[in-house]
């Protein structure tokens, strides 16, 4: 990742966004943080992403900031680079 050292809980939220980006073929800008059916972003990871300025939350949804979108792209690039 970049110079930031994010916890696994914070990274898991970005990985979830990466999954949706890769499966849809479109860059994700918003993340569902609580779908109301038991799938919920980790609160500690979310707080960390907010503190780092990577996401802005609005109720059950979060919007990646420009820095968050850049970090998401780093995650996606790392996933792609893992292919041998």
| pLDDT band of 4, cuts 50, 70, 90 | low
Residue 81 confidence (pLDDT) above 50: yes
Q: What's the chain's average pLDDT?
A: 92
Asked if residue 36 lies in contact with residue 7, where contact means CB atoms within 8 angstroms, the answer is no
Which residues does 75 contact at the CB level (< 8 Å), separation at least 6?
1, 11, 14, 15, 17, 18
pLDDT more than 70, % of the chain? 95
Please report the domains of the chain, with CATH numbers, ordered by start residue: 8-81 (1.10.10)
What's the pLDDT tens digit per position in 47-62?
Answer: 999 999 999 999 999 9
Q: Which residue has the higher pLDDT, 70 or 1?
A: 70
pTM: 0.88
């Amino acid at each position: 990742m970049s110079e930031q050292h994010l916890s696994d809980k914070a990274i898991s939220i970005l990985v979830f966004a990466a999954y949706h980006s890769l499966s849809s073929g479109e860059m994700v800008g918003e993340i569902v943080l609580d779908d109301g059916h038991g799938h919920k972003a980790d609160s500690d990871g979310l707080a960390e992403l907010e503190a780092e300025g990577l996401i802005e939350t609005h109720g059950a949804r979060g919007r990646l900031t420009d820095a968050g979108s850049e970090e998401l792209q780093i995650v996606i690039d790392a996933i792609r680079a893992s292919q041998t």
